[in-house]
Amino acid sequence: MSSNQTQIEFTGKAGEYFGIWIVNLLLSIVTLGIYSAWAKVRRKKYFYNNTLIEGVGFDYHAKPMAILKGRIIAVALFILYQVLTKFSPIAGAVLLVLFLVALPWILVRGLTFNARNSSHRGLRFDFDGQYGQAARVMLLYPILIFLTLGLALPF
């Protein structure tokens, strides 16, 4: 291999991952999804540790409780939306619009969380995405494409 090429390999085995997957699945079912946060960390650790660059694996440092808290908030907001739409469709529509406005922020925060909890050779990653940039791509550009009947493609 020439000096300017980097060797990347995956050393995971299907049988090993199947064991992790089946345990994660069964525990997630038994705990009604609560274990899924721990399952996510376990799965990511397996894939990260078995993805090697020049013989060194990645690592994943997220705490399952942080993931679980985020999921609880998401479920609570979904339940709130369902209840609101039953009693007031207008309130449900307002909440839906608020969700669409918040979606770029949610995406940026999720990508930041994943990056900051990933490392290679002890160096943690970071994601420096901004809400404004994400909102432009996720909200403004689709509207612009629709209004111009696709003429705004590519941006």
One DSSP character per residue, 131-151 reads: HHHHHIIIIIHHHHHHHTTTT
- Which of 21-25, 56-60, 90-94 has the least mean pLDDT? 90-94
Does one domain contain both 87 and 145? yes
Helix (H) or strand (E) holding 79: helix 64-87
The pTM for the full model equals: 0.85
Mean pLDDT computed over 19-47: 98
In this predicted model, what pLDDT tens digit does every residue of 129-139 receive, in sequence order? 999 999 999 99
Query: Is there a contact between 49 and 59 (Cβ–Cβ < 8 Å)?
Result: yes
User: What b-and-e string marks burial along 103-129, b requiring 16 or more CB atoms within 10 Å of the CB?
Assistant: ebeebbbeeeeeeebbebeeeeeeeeb
Does one domain contain both 56 and 81? no
Strand runs labelled E in 85-130: 118-120, 123-124
User: Is residue 65 in some structural domain?
Assistant: no
Is the Cα dihedral 64, 68, 74, 75 positive or negative? positive
Q: How many other C-beta atoms are found inside a 10 Å radius of the C-beta of residue 14?
A: 8
Does one domain contain both 80 and 56? no
| CA distances (Å), origin 19, targets 26, 39, 144 | 11, 12, 47
Residue percentage of the chain with pLDDT more than 90: 90
Task: Give the pLDDT confidence score for residue 155 in this predicted structure.
Answer: 59
Domain count within the chain:
2
Task: Give the pLDDT confidence score for residue 99 in this predicted structure.
Answer: 94
Half-sphere exposure of 135 (CA within 13 A, CB side): 9
Task: Give the pLDDT confidence score for residue 45 in this predicted structure.
Answer: 98
User: Is residue 111 in some structural domain?
Assistant: yes
Instruction: Share the mean pLDDT of the chain.
Output: 94
User: Is residue 40 in some structural domain?
Assistant: yes
In this predicted model, what pLDDT tens digit does every residue of 61-120 receive, in sequence order? 999 999 999 999 999 999 999 999 999 999 989 999 999 999 999 999 999 999 999 999
Task: Give the pLDDT confidence score for residue 6 in this predicted structure.
Answer: 87
User: Is residue 67 in some structural domain?
Assistant: no
Q: What residue type is assigned to position 65 of the chain?
A: M
